[in-house]
Amino acid sequence: MNATLLRCSIIAALGGLLFGFDTAVISGTTDQLREVFGLEGFGLGFTVASALIGTILGALFAGHPADRIGRRSTLVWIAVLYLVSAVGSALAWDWISFLVFRWLGGLGVGASSVVAPMYIAEISPPRFRGRLVAITQFNIVLGILLAYLSNYGVAQMQYGAMEWRVMFGIEALPAVIFLVLMFGTPRSPRWLVAQGNSHAAALVLEMVGAEDVQGELSEIEESLAETAQNEKEPLLQRKYSRPVKLAVAIATFNQLSGINALMYYAPHIFRMAGAGTDSSLAQAVAVGCTNLVFTLIALLVIDKIGRRKIMVVGSIGYIVSLAATAAAFYRYGTDFTDVGGTVVLVSLMVFIASHAFGQGSVIWVYLSEIFPNRVRAQGQALGSFTHWVFAAAISWTFPVIADISGGHTFAFYSSMMVLQLLWVLKVMPETKGVPLEEIQKRMSAA
């Protein structure tokens, strides 16, 4: 694999690392936020979801700057949003200012979920594309693990009332690194062709190790033949109905697993199952480690066994683990024994492993593949928008419904994964090793 290609992919995927860190860091602060701002279940849910409201808007509108100023320039501005959010959240002077800075971070997360995989997909040859785009997912889970480790480490340092501020402020360091490194990456060759700069696109393709520069350039130019309509082409029309339906379905199922409930409330869930505060933070670290390991495994095999098989395995793991978690909550309620707590811990480890190997490793790769060049930014934005709408809904409602019945909550998530398995088996097409332009033809979107 070309060294420049790998370097550029890793740098772009740092947006994913910050995505993961920003997503998970609040999990260690929920008790202090509840106390500092006087929040109850609904208010806490809204506070956690404030960033996700930003992600919805970030995902919805990221396609426009990605097409106008380019994928790379948009990633630079995303890094700025992460930096401002980290510093502002740490220094927030009241609840409203905290919500605003978390919302800005959410804009960065939503935009990053669109633009980072898009950029990597557009500089990658087909045989490496799945693995390289999946680096974004690997970095997301690495960011989640780093957030859990950071929260645990900060908690051991006994910062007292300042603890939650330190947890948020640490994110500024990787944000600065991401911002600086992005200036050393080339622009997307597909975006350059769309802007009428085929010469620069050819140089980038050569730089990232394309085997047939002129051949790939010709394919890109052919797929973008309607250059004048590139920005005006509407996504929501009949010829794009198939990729639109696939994007909405995979993004919806991703969140109906309850994954963001675990990411945002992992320590809270373990406390519900009888763990103490320090123990719950340590168990969250264990969740992050499991997430990282199984994402790495998926990264190594996604271009060998394909997207559909990975999704099948992950769906089965989801169903079993969530059903077991629901059964534990039905059995023990609010009076967990050590055995019950262990069942929940093991079941949620299997759950996170299933997500990391299945949906987690596939979703961003798949969304970056299934849309034609001329509407890829819009399509990626639609998929991410759907993902974050459901993420916000799950995260906002979890504290309320979990207080009513943990069993009902996890049973619902398990039933949704049964539907996902049926969708994968009956509807989802394979994209492994297929050039982006060929996927466009197969989707009848030429």
CATH number of the domain where residue 51 is located: 1.20.1250.20
> Which of 441, 27, 78, 6 has the alpha carbon at shortest distance from 239?
441
Tell which wins on pLDDT, 231 or 133. 133
Q: What is the pLDDT of residue 82?
A: 94
Q: How many domains does the chain have?
A: 1
| pLDDT attached to residue 444 | 63
Per-residue pLDDT, 378? 82
Cα 326 to Cα 340, 407, 414: the distances in Å are 11, 4, 8
Give the whole-number percent of the chain exceeding pLDDT 70: 95
Tell me, what's the pLDDT at 99?
Answer: 93
Express each pLDDT in 17-37 by its tens digit: 888 898 788 888 878 888 888
**What per-residue confidence (pLDDT) applies to 209?**
75
**Residue 225 confidence (pLDDT):** 66
- 322 pLDDT tier (thresholds 50, 70, 90): very high
Highest mean pLDDT out of 266-275, 337-346, 418-427: 418-427
* Residue 230 belongs to a domain: no
Chain segment 405-439, per-residue pLDDT in tens: 878 889 999 999 999 999 999 999 888 877 777 77
The pLDDT of residue 232 is: 63
CB 394 within 8 A of CB 281: no
Q: What does the alpha-carbon distance between residue 402 and residue 414 come to, in Å, rounded to a whole number?
A: 15
Q: Is the pLDDT of residue 362 over 50?
A: yes
Say if 87 falls within a structural domain. Answer: yes
For residue 355 the two structure tokens come to 């997500």
- CA neighbor of 350 nearest in space, from 290, 282, 280: 290
Cα separations in angstroms, 28 against 32, 94, 255, 270, 356: 9, 19, 21, 12, 21
pLDDT of residue 445: 46
What was the pLDDT predicted at 104? 94
Q: Give the CA diameter of the chain.
A: 68
User: Does the pLDDT at position 391 exceed 90?
Assistant: no
Task: Answer yes or no: is 8 within a domain.
Answer: yes
The confidence score (pLDDT) of residue 251 equals 93
Q: What residue numbers bound the domain in which 299 lies?
A: 3-225+236-442
For the chain, the three-class secondary structure string (H helix, E strand, C coil) is: CCHHHHHHHHHHHHHHHHHHHHHHHHHHCHHHHHHHCCCCHHHHHHHHHHHHHHHHHHHHHCHHHHHHCCHHHHHHHHHHHHHHHHHHHHHCCCHHHHHHHHHHHHHHHHHHHHHHHHHHHHHCCHHHHHHHHHHHHHHHHHHHHHHHHHHHHHHHCCCHHHHHHHHHHCCHHHHHHHHHHHCCCCCCHHHHHHCCCHHHHHHHHHHCCCCCHHHHHHHHHHHCCCHHHCCCCCCCCHHHHHHHHHHHHHHHHHHHCCHHHHHHHHHHHHHHCCCCHHHHHHHHHHHHHHHHHHHHHHHHHHHHHCHHHHHHHHHHHHHHHHHHHHHHHHHHCCCCCHHHHHHHHHHHHHHHHHHHHCHHHHHHHHHHHCCCHHHHHHHHHHHHHHHHHHHHHHHHHHHHHHHHCHHHHHHHHHHHHHHHHHHHHHCCCCCCCCCHHHHHHHCCCC
Q: What is the pLDDT of residue 90?
A: 94
pLDDT for residue 181? 93
Report if residue 324 sits inside a domain.
yes
Instruction: Report if residue 389 sits inside a domain.
Output: yes
- Over 80: is that where the pLDDT of 38 sits? yes
Q: How many CB atoms lie within 10 A of CB 103?
A: 19
Is residue 283's pLDDT more than 80? no
- 248-263 tens-digit pLDDT: 999 999 999 988 887 7
The reported pLDDT for the residue numbered 367 is 86
Q: What is residue 112's predicted lDDT score, i.e. its pLDDT?
A: 86
**Residue 246 in this model has a pLDDT that exceeds 90:** yes
pTM above 0.75, yes or no: no
Q: What single-letter amino acid sits at 114?
A: V
Residue 231 lies in a domain: no
Question: Is 227's pLDDT higher than 60?
Answer: no
Q: Give the angle subtended at the CA of 53 by the CAs of 176 and 90, to the nearest 5°.
A: 40
Output the pLDDT for position 173: 93
Per the domain annotation, does 295 fall within a domain?
yes
Check pLDDT > 70 for residue 230.
no
Confidence of residue 276 (pLDDT cuts 50, 70, 90): low
**What integer is the mean pLDDT of 290-295?**
86
Q: What is the mean pLDDT of residues 194-220?
A: 81
pLDDT digits (tens, 9 = 90+) for 43-100: 888 888 788 788 888 877 887 888 889 889 999 999 999 999 999 999 999 999 999 9
What is the structure's pLDDT at 418? 96
Average predicted confidence (pLDDT) for the chain = 84
pLDDT tens per residue, range 66-76: 888 988 999 99
Indicate whether 58 belongs to any domain. yes
